[in-house]
Amino acid sequence: MSRGLRHLALKTRDLARTEQFYRDVIGLRRAFDHQGMLFLETPGGDDLLNFVGTRGAVAPSRGGLDHFGLSFTRGEWKKAVARVKEAGVKITGSRGASAIYIEDPNGYTIELYCD
């Protein structure tokens, strides 16, 4: 019996740039060190994003992944949106007044939302 989703493993060609984006713009933090990988945790949950370093091409559109969503409290969501704008990250879409869509440096689409 599964206890739920624990992590997503995504490929990246640049671990440092990926970490900087998710740390400084999105507000995640490094969970633990692992050679050739990056494990980031979300502030309010037990879930992880795992980025695996690769030399090959990263093509999210070929892998079938549409997007993944990161949930925030209303106050933290407003701060995350402000960091996105401050960093000059293009907002590619929205859902009502409580969700925006952006792309990370690897081309993955992220939904930042609050309920």
In tens, the pLDDT along 40-82 reads 998 877 788 989 888 877 777 777 677 888 988 899 999 999 9
Domains observed in the chain? 7-54+65-114 (3.10.180.10)
Q: How much is the pLDDT for 64?
A: 66
Residue 1 pLDDT > 60:
no
In tens, the pLDDT along 96-115 reads 999 999 999 999 999 998 97
In the 3-class helix/strand/coil scheme, how is 26-92 assigned residue by residue?
Answer: HCCEEEEEECCEEEEECCCCCCEEEEEECCCCCCHHHCCCCCEEEEECHHHHHHHHHHHHHCCCCEE
